């Protein structure tokens, strides 16, 4: 039994490491699925348990499907180009102003549509804005990636990992704001200052502000309103404590069909352009975490968390920090799943749970595959012909994530 558990741990660790490092440049999903398949082939995990693990992610899959459909239809109908031209015009030839505009847009997008939406919806528009303004795209792309996580605990809907962390049962909005309003504000401000400083050379000089902004087509307007209505719908669902996956997928599907009908285009082109590999990646990660639970590793984590919670503030600071860095070793989705299961068994004080959520949301700003949002962002910039390597992201992440995490956790601990 011990040998079987050790082998399971080794397979899970190797698979998550491969998701991060992408050996042979193969997609991240390949390695998550390979690890899950190996567990089944070696008889370490019953197929029924694997199916049960995959089914736990249904709400997340539906949420992602809706967001990816919204992104692709908006992209096809020129909404991104319109946003890009608008940003380039209002930058008035200043790269720093363009950077600030994009950062603010990222805050709004993340807050009301989720960090995954910032990755898949905003990133292509930002790249287009950089091209139109003839500005260096790297600082602007980093702004998208980092604000996607830095603002991901402003609202419960700002990050699907929030749903995972609280086991699908979100706290009331009043309680949420009392816990996270000030820590999220600190995260946003500190991340902006740190990123602006480390990218100061790239943001020097000037850019063009003569971009031509063509009027939005009827399809583009419909896509814009579809995204806006989706944001309102998600807030309503959150208030009513209704899972967000199905409403988001339906909103994405309805918007896509409506826009295609208005534009007299086939929806097949939109569907075929979506990055569907994200879904098996997430499913594979759910299976890996389920196997860790079956081996007793999560119970061990829960026991340690329960013992540490004798001193709640100390436990909150330490556990939040460990989870923040640990999310970069295995991606914050499985890390959040492990933490959520541990919390369900240990029942620690609220301040500890809140610190864990800050860690799982903000910690992934350290590395390029720390969160699903960052992986989606990476896929988005690769489609535009750009790429940012592991070490380049780590350099920026070290300067931005660590002070943002420290300030957010400290404020949450002071709140008590």
What average pLDDT does this structure show over 92-117? 87
Closest CA to 409 of 347, 361, 348, 342: 361
State the pTM of this model: 0.84
The DSSP secondary structure of 338-359, one letter per residue, reads: HHHHHHHHH---HHHHHHHHHH
Q: Who contacts 412 (Cβ-Cβ below 8 Å, separation ≥6)?
A: 179, 180, 182, 183, 316, 320, 351, 354, 355, 358
Residue 311 DSSP code: S
Of 366, 341, 317, 322, the closest CA to residue 149 belongs to: 366
pLDDT one-digit tens code per residue, 189-246: 999 999 999 999 999 888 776 666 778 889 989 998 998 898 888 878 877 778 788 9
349-407 pLDDT per residue, tens: 999 999 999 999 999 999 987 887 888 788 888 888 888 888 899 999 999 999 999 99
pLDDT digits (tens, 9 = 90+) for 11-55: 877 887 777 667 777 777 888 899 889 989 988 889 999 999 899
Q: What is the pLDDT of residues 54-63, one digit of tens each?
A: 998 888 889 8
Categorize the per-residue pLDDT at 169 as very low, low, confident or very high, splitting at 50, 70 and 90: low
Instruction: Say how far apart CA 105 and CA 107 lie, in whole Å.
Output: 5
Q: Map out the domains of the chain as residue ranges.
A: 2-415
């Amino acid at each position: 039994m011990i040998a079987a558990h050790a082998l399971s741990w080794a397979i899970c660790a190797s698979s998550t490491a491969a998701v991060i490092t992408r050996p042979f440049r193969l997609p991240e999903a390949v390695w998550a699925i390979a690890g899950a398949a190996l567990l089944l082939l070696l008889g370490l995990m019953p197929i029924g348990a694997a199916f049960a693990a995959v089914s736990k992610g249904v709400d997340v899959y539906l949420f992602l499907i809706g967001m990816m459909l919204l992104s692709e239809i908006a992209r096809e109908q020129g909404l991104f180009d319109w946003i890009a031209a608008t940003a380039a015009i209002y930058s008035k030839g200043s790269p720093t102003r363009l950077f600030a505009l994009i950062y603010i847009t990222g805050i709004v997008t993340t807050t009301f549509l989720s960090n995954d939406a910032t990755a898949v919806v905003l990133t292509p528009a930002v790249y287009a804005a950089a091209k139109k303004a003839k500005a260096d795209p790297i600082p602007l792309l980093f702004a998208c990636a980092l604000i996607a996580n830095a603002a991901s605990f402003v609202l419960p809907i700002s990050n699907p990992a929030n749903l995972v962390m609280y086991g699908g049962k979100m706290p009331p909005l009043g309680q949420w704001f009392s816990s996270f309003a000030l820590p999220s504000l600190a995260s946003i401000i500190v991340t902006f200052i740190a990123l602006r400083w480390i990218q100061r050379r790239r943001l020097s000089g000037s850019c063009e502000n003569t971009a031509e902004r063509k009027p939005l087509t009827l399809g583009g307007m419909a896509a814009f309103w579809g995204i806006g209505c989706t944001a309102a719908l998600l807030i309503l669902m959150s208030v009513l404590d209704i899972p967000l996956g199905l409403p988001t997928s339906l909103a994405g599907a309805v918007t896509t069909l409506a826009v295609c009908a208005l534009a007299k285009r086939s929806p097949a082109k939109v569907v075929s352009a979506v990055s569907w590999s994200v879904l098996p990646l997430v499913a594979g990660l759910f299976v890996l975490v389920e196997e860790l639970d079956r081996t007793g590793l999560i119970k061990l984590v829960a026991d340690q968390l329960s013992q540490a919670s004798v001193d709640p503030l100390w436990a909150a600071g330490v556990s939040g920090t460990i989870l923040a860095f640990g999310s970069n070793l295995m991606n914050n989705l499985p890390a959040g799943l492990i933490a959520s299961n541990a919390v369900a068994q240990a029942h620690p004080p609220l301040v500890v749970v809140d610190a864990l959520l800050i860690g799982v949301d903000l910690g992934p700003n350290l590395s390029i595959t720390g969160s699903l949002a960052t992986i989606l962002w990476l896929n988005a910039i690769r489609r535009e012909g750009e790429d940012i390597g592991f070490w380049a992201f780590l350099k920026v992440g070290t300067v931005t994530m660590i002070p943002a995490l420290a300030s957010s956790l400290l404020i949450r601990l002071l709140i008590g």
